Chains A and B, each alone.
Chain A
């Protein structure tokens, strides 16, 4: 594949100075949690390795992953990231359309057989033979299987591809299914979030092309460096949580003081992501920083966890939605009431037995 330009070639061609390039390598190294010794390694890889071909396909999704990706605030994201990976097929960004686009896809698969990375945004609906998502005249699931067959690895972008997201929320009428349940014979890296953080997306790709392997994954298949901790663990409002200082109602005085949003149903304590350290839009903010609790968008089945604004989740299994406390208290109340009635009956029964025992023997005989 010597005819493919290296990343460095592309960057220089786009007018990026060597100084900026080294800055980029340094920032990437630190973003990936690597020591300074890795900076020259990254630089070397970028100077010598051919661009990693990426085929990016879109299933049942909302394109928020693409939108997030192109806002990568990492230095040079717009100019470099999209150029350094050889993005050969991407609905949102590619110039080609219609038959030309599909021809380009086939060409890419043929050309980079076994070497390209497949990035999947969205997921395939399996119900009705996949007819709920048609791409280029075919069910998306067929396209996914076709492209994944010759891929080196698969990246599941966002909550859709990783877990199913809103289209897979109960009752999931289209049977939207996360990628790893359809493609089972390829290494899959999940980058959940709705959308995932732009820097997380670009860093994952950078890591893969630098070291030519998947980053270290956690037990759910997410890159551990970004999904190893809960948002809660690194939240700048954590001190208020430990102090017991909470926002009690929207827009109250505590909200203005920036207290913890735990009582407002913040899902930070149950959500693994890097929002509280990296932030969105050049690190400008993230939900908690703008005064709204985390909704847990990078967690499996986050749409089915009741309201975004409840600390204790409503459990729909009980018909009318009730949370664990209400169910528990009802059960405890019913049992307590039952116990009281049982105690009363026991006392009456005991009194009755006593009265019978105390009755003169002949009276009892008459009864019999």
Chain B
């Protein structure tokens, strides 16, 4: 053990003690020192993916809050004459602006899944014909049901997370974008190109009020996802064998142990 340390720190005294190690790495013990010498991180989330994640999170937060208020407006405000105040108008504006940001971001994310690294594709495709992947899905289910003592290591999303991402983000956001823009097109008028584009969706649903209800339920599905997502990220950060929260900030997945499996 000591020999390795000496190799990496040639300027050090051959008789390396606890204090000389701690000069370099704070309160690191010699055991820690051995670990940090290994390359234990993988670059998973590239900059565009991380940027998208946080922009998307902010946009979704804005959309949920303003969207809820559009369905259940705040109490009447009498700041001035109707012509002088635009309270509800601004709420709707924020909703539409955040929707545009989210949509552009989503299309950017889809683009990146083609040019980005291997992990950037995970959210958009489920390897449902891969038996091994399914076995890992069930392993993860058992892990969350407290039936497995130790989780597996994953570089990207674990299979269960991948399923959640696929259905709530890829499918969910697509659903919200389609229904949302169909509703938005109503305000633009029936002769607008967006109305022509979304006409099949409106015809399928038949009634704009139903479309509102569907869009509303979609929001709650995303709220449910957000709760699970944040909980799972924090829980895995604490209990799993790899980093979680910081990975979406730095892009690097770091591992807590050296065992390959």
Residues of A bordering B, CB below 8 Å: 218-220, 224, 228-230, 233, 239-246, 248, 254, 259, 262-263, 267, 269-272, 296, 299-302, 305, 311-313, 315, 323-325, 327-329, 331-332, 335-336, 339, 342-343, 345-346, 349-350, 353
Contact = CB atoms under 8 A, between A and B. Distances in A.
Contacts of B211: 270
A239 B86 CA distance: 9
B85 A328 contact: no
A305 B209 CA distance: 7
Given A267-B209, A315-B213, A328-B219, A262 B231 contact: no
Contacts of B72: 311-312, 325
16 contacts: A229-B190, A245-B76, A245-B82, A248-B76, A270-B209, A296-B207, A302-B207, A311-B71, A312-B72, A312-B212, A312-B213, A315-B213, A328-B219, A331-B224, A335-B224, A350-B238
Decide if the interface of chain B is mainly helix, strand, loop or mixed.
Answer: helix
A28 to B, nearest CB: 22
Interface of B: 68, 71-78, 82-89, 91-92, 144, 146, 149, 186-187, 189-191, 199, 202-203, 206-213, 216-217, 219-221, 223-224, 227-228, 231, 235, 238-239
A240 B89 CA distance: 10
B189 A245 contact: no
Contacts of A312: 71-72, 212-213, 216
B203 A220 contact: yes
Decide if the interface of chain A is mainly helix, strand, loop or mixed.
Answer: helix
Given A229-B189, A350-B239, A245 B68 contact: no
A335 to B, nearest CB: 5
A329 B72 CA distance: 14
A265 to B, nearest CB: 10
B146 A228 contact: no
A332 B220 CA distance: 7
A336 B72 CA distance: 22
A300 B208 CA distance: 9
A299 B220 contact: no
Contact of B213 (A220, A313, A339): A313
A230 B203 CA distance: 16
B257 to A, nearest CB: 14
A324 B216 contact: yes
Given A270-B212, A305-B209, A346-B235, A243 B190 contact: no
Contacts of A315: 213
B89 A242 contact: yes
Nearest to B190: A228
Q: Which of A228, A244, A263 has the most CB of B within 10 A?
A: A244
A254 B187 contact: no
Given A245-B77, A324-B217, 18 more contacts: A219-B190, A219-B202, A219-B203, A229-B190, A230-B208, A233-B187, A244-B76, A244-B89, A270-B207, A270-B208, A272-B190, A301-B206, A302-B207, A312-B72, A312-B216, A324-B213, A324-B216, A327-B220
Given A254-B76, A305-B207, A339 B219 contact: no
B220 A259 contact: no
Contacts of A332: 220, 223-224, 227
B89 A243 contact: yes
B146 A263 contact: no
A339 B239 CA distance: 15
B220 A239 contact: no
B216 A305 contact: no
Q: Which of B74, B78, B91, B92 has the most CB of A within 10 A?
A: B78
